[in-house]
Amino acid sequence: MLRIAVPNKGSLSGPASAMLHEAGYSQRKESKELVHVDPDNEVEFFYLRPKDIAIYVAQGRLDIGITGEDLLIDSGAGAETILPLGFARSTFRFAAKPGAVAGLADLAGRTIATSYEGIVAKYLAEKGVDASVVHLDGAVETAIELGVADAIADVVETGTSLRNAGLEVFGDPIMKSEAVVIRRTGATAADEGDAKVQQFLRRLQGVLVARTYVMMDYDCRAEHLDAAVALTPGLEGPTISPLHSEGWVAVRAMVLAKEAQRIMDDLYALGARAILTTAIHACRL
Ligand SMILES: Nc1ncnc2c1ncn2[C@@H]1O[C@H](COP(=O)(O)OP(=O)(O)OP(=O)(O)O)[C@@H](O)[C@H]1O
Ligand SMILES: O=P(O)(O)OC[C@H]1O[C@H](OP(=O)(O)OP(=O)(O)O)[C@H](O)[C@@H]1O
Ligand SMILES: [Mg+2]
């Protein structure tokens, strides 16, 4: 059985389970379940605190896990990203009251509150800044108002939490993050269960493609085919089929969902007709 760690709460939890469900795996029915077996797919899911997942995976207790890239780096555990998943995108930044901290060097001798001590300590050491780090579990934005810290280092997505606390970012972004699949550092194709890991990754890649692409079909005159194919090159090349009407062909190609409407407009302008897009539910490339 493949053993997989899944976040049990927070921003990663819902989207991770939704993606696994889309990939054909059954998921726990209620949030108190800590382990769920999917017998048909021979997978056992362990619902763990997102911050702990890298530790289980690095020790080889679990084969793979879904977590945040920032949590992986923060843990310092011996695991690495094997597939980025495109959700829970965020940046990790310093912030303080406007004008209170001039820049990174100005943090020397000051106190920084964060839930990500590992990332902050490593970054400060790399930059040669000697500051104190105080660990808080969450809501770190409040630490400045209450006098616990001069600055914070925290996850920023829309910036709403910072604005609400009257804070602003300073310095370069410390890192970017998104949800990722992780595996023990040094794992190889020779590892027991590697074939199952690869199959799991192909399934998730299929979901990512299905979320990103749509299938486009249209008819166009043979003399416009080159121009049409330039608009819809597909992944390996579009499928071209003859039509019963003389001088017309049918074209089928995958296109990026976010570009579909523009491509339909351009194809129409070229004289293509019966232009259809359909969702892709699953795929193996
Ligand atoms: N507002 C957000 N937008 C996007 N990603 C976020 C956001 N907040 C946290 N994350 C990401 O989610 C992961 C952190 O998950 P975690 O469950 O520890 O924190 P959380 O989502 O803030 O939940 P909690 O309510 O338990 O603090 C990190 O990878 C982080 O980058
Ligand atoms: O830039 P924003 O869109 O506002 O998102 C960032 C905020 O989201 C997370 O907090 P969360 O709500 O999880 O609370 P927490 O501080 O208790 O973790 C994170 O810690 C930031 O505070
Ligand atoms: Mg949080």
The percent of the chain in helix, strand and coil, each rounded to the nearest 5, is: 30, 35, 35
Q: Which atom of ligand 1 is nearest to the CA of 12?
A: 12
Give the pLDDT confidence score for residue 53 in this predicted structure.
98
Q: Which of 9, 148, 152, 161 to mutate to test the pocket of ligand 2 (most atoms within 8 A of CB)?
A: 161
Q: Give the CA distances from residue 260 to residues 54, 98, 207, 226, 250, in Å, rounded to whole numbers and listed in that order.
A: 38, 43, 18, 18, 17
How far is the C-alpha of 42 from the C-alpha of 12, rounded, in Å?
23
Per the structure block, which two tokens stand in for 52?
A: 């702990």
Per the structure block, which two tokens stand in for 229?
A: 């194919």
Single out the residue in 176, 204, 222 at which a domain terminates: 176
The DSSP output letter for 283 is: -
DSSP 124-188: HHHHT---EEEE-SS-TTHHHHTTS-SEEEEEESSSHHHHHTT-EEEEEEEEEE-EEEEEETT--
Q: How far is the CA of 179 from the centre of ligand 1 (A)?
A: 10
Give a yes or no: residue 23 inside a domain: yes
* 125, 169: one domain: yes
- Can you list the residues of the chain whose pLDDT is less than 70? none
Per the structure block, which two tokens stand in for 267?
A: 């194809």
Give a yes or no: residue 193 inside a domain: no
* 11, 72: one domain: yes
Give the pLDDT confidence score for residue 285 in this predicted structure.
82
* 28, 101: one domain: no
- Does residue 12 have its Cβ closer than 6 Å to ligand 1? yes
**Length, in residues, of the chain:** 285
Give a yes or no: residue 150 inside a domain: yes
* 120, 73: one domain: no
> Which residue's C-alpha comes closest to atom 6 of ligand 2?
156
Single out the residue in 151, 176, 201 at which a domain terminates: 176
CATH number reported for the structural domain that contains residue 164 in this entry: 3.40.190.10
* 42, 119: one domain: no
Q: What is the ipTM of this complex?
A: 0.94
* 182, 76: one domain: yes
* 79, 132: one domain: no
The DSSP output letter for 30 is: S
Give the pLDDT confidence score for residue 132 in this predicted structure.
97
Give a yes or no: residue 240 inside a domain: yes
* 6, 71: one domain: yes
Give a yes or no: residue 27 inside a domain: yes
Cα of first residue to Cα of last residue in the chain, in angstroms, is: 25
- Does residue 138 have its Cβ closer than 6 Å to ligand 1? yes
Domain that holds residue 56: 2-86+178-187
* 170, 94: one domain: yes
